[in-house]
Chains A and B, each alone.
Chain A
Amino acid sequence: MTVLPLAVAALPRLDRFASASRRLPPWLVSWLQVCPLAFVLVVLFALPTLLFVVVSFWDYDRTGIYPAFVLDNYRDLLTTPATIRVYLSSLVFAVIAWAITLFLGFNIAHFLIFHVRSAAVRTLLFLLCAIPFWTSGIIRTIAWIPFLGRNGAFNQIVMGLGLTSKPLDFLLFSSFAVIVTYVNLFTLLMVGPIANSMAKIDPALIEAARDAGASRWRIMVEVIIPLSKTGIALGSILVFTQVMGDFFVVKQMSGGQSASIVSTLATEIQAMQYPPAAASAVVLVIFVALMVAGMMRIVDVRKELVK
């Protein structure tokens, strides 16, 4: 909470800011510029996170929650077989969604950056990929229902083509539907960072590799992939965390066959069982943080973004 007094102290000086700014040390100018952001992140993100860490050690019963220091919430959580099961199933979803979005994202980024010759066409195609990202995730999820359903558009096409005589049942309300929806929602999170990395590759490097006799495959493996790994890591982090934090898609598309970590947690919150929900939240945060930290080891994300 050191930013708040700083922000208040700066207020009376704002009118003289223009003339005085050349005398302000540069780091102080940066501090003033960044303090609204720091304030919001501390008050609305860091403190609430700290709060559920604290509450995870509290005691509770049917009538309320009580300040305490007990480890029961964690013990109950970690000794329930359901916890392991739901983490495993979320992890499987995350890995499959990650592999598919990585394949698609890498190839699409490669196509946009290295194969499309005109900058205007490239921008247009990139926008076509990006526009759905700015529309509702809920609507894009339920849009699959009339498409994949038993009498849905996909079955009608497949049966119309005579490929199958009976409608395919596994399409909707299944793990398949969950994966399809994840890929549909999150591929852009891969395309963006990877395309950004690829756009920074000096074409002269590729030209040089080709002049030295490298095949298209070797250029890909030894030049393009190593130079895109920051984008790959960033995209992976975004896709992975989105899947691990999801509760809507699994609930809506699995037809009740799969649970997600967050949806079991949400049930506890609705039952006002805050301490066990908080313990579950802490475990999830640690799990996600470890995975993200592992991916961050590959690349210096900060250097990449801020320069």
Chain B
Amino acid sequence: MMVGGQSYQTVGRGRPWTFYALAALFGLFLLFLYGPMLVIYILSFQGPDGGVTFPMVGTSLVWFEDILKPGQMANIPVSFGRSIALASIVSLLTVAISVAAGLAFRRRFPGSGVVFYLAVASLVMPSLLVGFGIGLGFRALDTKPSLFTSALGAQLTWTLPFGLFAMFAVVNRFNRAYEEAANDLGATAWQRLRHVTLPILLPGIIGVAMGAFTLSYDEYARTTLVIGERNTLPLEIYALISSATSPTLFAIGTITTGVSFLVIGLTLWRILRLQRRRAGAMPS
């Protein structure tokens, strides 16, 4: 991860009181972070007669079954599929574009400042306004907004700056001596990229892919004005909030968080395995 650094406490000396104060604060923060989410995961297993608050009246899976039944929730499974497809494409494009750009920013080039500040502006721009602008553009071109055109584009304005800044962190730690060694051994630029640079950056690149996937999968503010007629899952959930007052909404929340956790877990597992293999290959 991004966080390195060293503890300045000398081992063996006792912990100062600030350690315990901050540890307590950190613990409370984690409780604050996860507590409400845990409540809705538990409530999504509410019994058929229970409501949207405690107490639990037995446990059941009826609220999950509700999602698959035809009716009010009919759009959930379809929109889930759309979200996965869109997130996969966004993730691929983000990796390809931001890895290339990350490599470009290793040297100063004319116009680098412009591109950098465009990325910063794109990141801090109020999300809905990005969708508004793109929507106006599509109107001006007399084109209907849709999932894989305007929505895809709106999401890229969000995932690309993240990908770029993540690549900065990855590239900063890259030791250029490896590339020089490849040059000295007669590698072409392509061989150097394919067999030296990319494999070394791979854990960071996998991280960018995951970040882009989850950001796209959960995005709603930039997408909502340019989605066209077929909603993604977050927009479908957004539309349901005001009408649904049963634990079904929590069941959807449990499933979509489960998907996010699965993606995060698989990614971390891959990165960890790569690093372990690398540590084994390089005698220190």
Please report A residues at the B interface, Cβ cutoff 8 Å: 17-19, 21-22, 26-27, 29-34, 36-38, 40-49, 51-52, 55, 104, 107-108, 110-117, 119, 122-123, 125-132, 134-140, 142-147, 149, 151-153, 156, 183-184, 187, 192, 195-196, 198-201, 203, 206-207, 216, 237-238, 241, 244-245, 247-248, 252, 261-262, 265-266, 269, 274, 277-278, 281, 284-285, 288-289, 292, 301-302, 305-307
Contacts of B4 in A (CB 8 A): 119, 199
Contacts of B129 in A (CB 8 A): 49, 52, 245, 262, 265, 281, 284-285
In the complex, B279 has a CB within 8 A of chain A: no
A37 CA to B134 CA, complexed, in Å:
17
A115 CA to B113 CA, complexed, in Å:
37
Contacts A33-B104, A45-B122 supplied; 11 other A-B pairs, CB < 8 Å: A26-B107, A33-B101, A37-B100, A41-B122, A51-B140, A107-B25, A115-B15, A136-B237, A138-B237, A146-B39, A288-B125
B160 contacts A138, C-beta separation under 8 Å? no
A126 contacts B3, C-beta separation under 8 Å? yes
B100 contacts A36, C-beta separation under 8 Å? yes
Residue among B33, B136, B217, B250 making CB contact with A52, cutoff 8 Å = B136
Q: Residue among A22, A45, A119, A203 with the most chain B CB within 10 A? A: A45
Between-chain CB contacts (< 8 Å), 30 pairs: A26-B107, A32-B104, A34-B104, A36-B97, A40-B153, A41-B157, A42-B118, A45-B130, A48-B133, A48-B136, A52-B133, A111-B23, A115-B18, A128-B30, A135-B214, A136-B234, A140-B37, A142-B40, A142-B253, A146-B39, A147-B39, A183-B32, A199-B2, A241-B124, A245-B129, A248-B221, A262-B126, A278-B132, A302-B113, A306-B105
A153 CA to B43 CA, complexed, in Å:
11
A145 CA to B247 CA, complexed, in Å:
12
Q: How far does the Cβ of A117 sit from chain B's closest Cβ, in whole Å?
A: 4
Contacts of A40 in B (CB 8 A): 97, 153, 156-157, 160
In the complex, B70 has a CB within 8 A of chain A: no
A129 contacts B33, C-beta separation under 8 Å? yes
Residue among B2, B25, B118, B225 making CB contact with A38, cutoff 8 Å = B118
B109 contacts A18, C-beta separation under 8 Å? no
A126 CA to B135 CA, complexed, in Å:
38
Q: How far does the Cβ of A43 sit from chain B's closest Cβ, in whole Å?
A: 8
B260 contacts A136, C-beta separation under 8 Å? yes
B100 contacts A244, C-beta separation under 8 Å? no
B3 contacts A122, C-beta separation under 8 Å? yes
